Structure 1
Amino acid sequence: MPVDTLSEVLRTVRLRGAVFYAVSVGPMWAVEAPPSAEIAAMVMPGAARVIEYHVLVEGTAWASLAGQPPVRLGPGDVVLFPQGDAHVMASAPGVPPLPFSIDWMRATQELPKPLPIALDGASLAWGDAARRPDGCSNIVCGFLGCDHGPFNPLLEGLPRLLHVPADGDGGWLCQLMLQAARGATGPGGGALADRISETMFIDAVRRHASRLPDHATGWLAGLRDRQVGRALALIHADPRHPWNVAELARAAALSRSAFCERFARLLGVAPARYLARWRMEVAATMLRQSHAPVATIAFDVGYESEAAFTRAFARLVGMPPSHWRAAPLH
């Protein structure tokens, strides 16, 4: 059976989704969002990483990051910020943004979600006071909490701004997110909204991977590459196996030198380094999600002794396995 390497890596990322805001905006508006690290404890307590996302349900909007050109969004488009960057959402580039207020977020933290918000210029209202502005656009905003190990190649390789247009097969997502925003206050609605958010992230990653240009580098580009993708599938299917460069090169139908050059060019690390890091990612996940003895985990990721595994884990992760298991997620 073919190995679905992307699904294997996604399974090591425990996602927790939540729709937080159902926003209606007027003809001219802009709002800034802080780095996710500044608000993570309020929106996703304990998450190792927080990803903010926005789904444009109707109308138009622009998303921008410092140092990058703004991106225009159409109905059904999704934009995510996988590396937690501060960003601005606006009706048009250059509109002065409404400053973010962490005091406002604290004051509204306990209100039922998703919280209706109306933004028209500098006028902001929420909850029962929110009234849809004339000619408004509607945006569903939320957060994804990700619990993962120290070397997740997918999350490390995602761009700072991930824009997924709604063209093709993406229109269904807009309808689901709108349903989540409208129905989250009913029985079971919160769980529905959370699962839809998680599905949205997986679908966004899949569609992003399918749109990568031919010259792209990174983990998803390596996964797509015929030769390197074969080697990655083998490593992820059986991290316990004592893989070596010669064996992986044969599977990729390349010489050792050509394989190492191609692998490093696409992924930015040598095959042996990638294998060691992935083993630590798998081990770190097992340490957090199971009560298996360290010796058992060591064997499951390819180490013949607990001592050798402990030394390798401490060298690559910066702490011994027992400390990782006991440490808080965030």
Structure 2
Amino acid sequence: MDVLSDVLSAVRLTGAIFFDSTFREPWVAEAPRASVIAGKVMPNSQYVFFFHTLIEGACWVEMTDGSAEPLRLEAGDIVAFPMDDAHALCSAIGMRAKPDLAMYHHPIDRQLPYVVNEGSSVGSCRFVCGYLGCDIRPYNPFIKSLPRVLHGRGTARQGWLASLVHHAVSETDRGNPGGETVLAKLAELMFVQVIREYVEGLPEDARGWLSGLKDPHIGQALRLIHGQPAANWTLEGLARAVGLSRTVFANRFTHYACDPPMQYLARWRMQLAARLLENPGISVAQAGAQVGYDSEAAFNRAFKKVVGLPPGTWRKGRAPGPGLPAN
């Protein structure tokens, strides 16, 4: 079981490239908090955040609230803001410009991306920018384990990905049918590659769900849970399967996943069940059975405890609009 792929699929990671921009010095482009414009750019996603890929040139990126040090970007870098922070891309530190919120919508009369081209010159920069969206309810263990700024150094210039980025840029220039889909998939691929590099670089003592993927014992436990979510897992059974005592396993799992093992299992089951409930051909009882509950009553109790609503009510109302990462 590839746990990361399983989670990204279950929470419906979706990409979209909206802007292909070339700026000449001096320049600044300020982005608002993604939650402000999420419903306009990715209305089908519960949670949305920005990413930027620098194709040519070099520049700075800063949090607009000044809460972090400016970050230098070079050609080939990818930067994402998973925690809904407003930020600015600029040719010199400290430059600001009020975001134009009217720019953030999906056009009905043209194909994405929007192209802004001030012309190339010494010191100019070219960006491909967009959004990544996903579900965060009922449970997304992945998103809350990300840093405020996710920086992939030179990621877009590496081997196969560099070829895809080059192809995507040419798609922008040609405006071929299906180009938006090509760009959306590229956005997802770039983000996953940045995540893989981020996980590889995490120190041994790092805390969080992504760090747990690297730990031999907790990574194995996560593979078991995600590989067989409906199995009759117990704390003792999982601990035994990964070769740890009950107490050591429970403490270690909680350290990494930020949830105790059985609570994690229950929450993940509800994420899977919520997806099943979107299918009108699957009854509440069938959805519960597919995630490990022998009776509809037991599933109803578990779903309401984790989600806050009975499964039937969830199904009728679906999830509310864009939000913030759940704790």
Question: TM-score, normalising length from structure 1?
Answer: 0.88
CA distance 1:171–1:81, shift in 2 (3 Å): farther
**Structure 1 residue corresponding to 2:152, chosen from 164, 172, 175:** 164
Q: Distance in 2 between matches of 1:12 and 1:68?
A: 32
Q: Distance in 2 between matches of 1:305 and 1:172?
A: 48
**Percent identical across equivalent pairs?**
40
**1:177 maps to what in 2?**
165
**Structure 1 residue 214 and structure 2 residue 204: aligned?**
yes
Q: Distance in 2 between matches of 1:258 and 1:283?
A: 30
Deviations for 1:171-192, whole angstroms, at most 9, x for unmatched residues? 5434423432431412222221
**Structure 1 residue corresponding to 2:233, chosen from 224, 243, 265:** 243
Q: Distance in 2 between matches of 1:42 and 1:283?
A: 28
Q: Distance in 2 between matches of 1:168 and 1:189?
A: 19
**Structure 1 residue corresponding to 2:192, chosen from 187, 202, 210:** 202
Deviations for 1:185-214, whole angstroms, at most 9, x for unmatched residues? 122222211221122222222222112122
**1:55 maps to what in 2?**
53
**Structure 1 residue 270 and structure 2 residue 269: aligned?**
no
**Structure 1 residue 282 and structure 2 residue 272: aligned?**
yes
Which amino acid in the other structure matches residue 159 of structure 1? Answer: P
CA contact (8 A) 2:20 2:127 kept: yes
CA distance 1:108–1:276, shift in 2 (3 Å): closer
**1:101 maps to what in 2?**
100
Deviation larger for 58-67 or 245-254: 58-67
**1:126 maps to what in 2?**
none
Q: Distance in 2 between matches of 1:212 and 1:169?
A: 22
CA contact (8 A) 1:29 1:97 kept: no
Q: Distance in 2 between matches of 1:274 and 1:80?
A: 27
- Residue 19 of structure 1 deviates from its aligned partner by 1.4
**Structure 2 residue corresponding to 1:252, chosen from 226, 242, 251:** 242
CA distance 1:103–1:109, shift in 2 (3 Å): farther
CA contact (8 A) 1:56 1:174 kept: no
- Residue 108 of structure 1 deviates from its aligned partner by 7.1
CA contact (8 A) 1:19 1:113 kept: yes
**1:187 maps to what in 2?**
177
**2:295 maps to what in 1?**
305
Q: Distance in 2 between matches of 1:107 and 1:199?
A: 21
**1:127 maps to what in 2?**
none
CA contact (8 A) 1:56 1:138 kept: yes
**Structure 1 residue 153 and structure 2 residue 152: aligned?**
no
Q: Distance in 1 between matches of 2:220 and 2:77?
A: 32
CA distance 1:289–1:59, shift in 2 (3 Å): farther
CA contact (8 A) 2:35 2:48 kept: yes
User: Match of 1:232, SS?
Assistant: helix
Matches within 5 A, 1:32-71: 32-65=30-63, 66=65, 67-71=67-71
Q: Distance in 2 between matches of 1:148 and 1:102?
A: 24
User: Match of 1:69, SS?
Assistant: coil
RMSD: 2.3
- Residue 85 of structure 1 deviates from its aligned partner by 2.0
- Residue 37 of structure 1 deviates from its aligned partner by 1.1
**Please, which runs of 5 or more residues in structure 1 have no aligned partner?**
119-129
CA distance 1:61–1:328, shift in 2 (3 Å): farther
**1:142 maps to what in 2?**
130
CA distance 1:156–1:110, shift in 2 (3 Å): farther
Would you say how many aligned residue pairs link Structure 1 and Structure 2? 316
CA contact (8 A) 1:63 1:70 kept: yes
**1:113 maps to what in 2?**
112
User: Match of 2:306, SS?
Assistant: helix
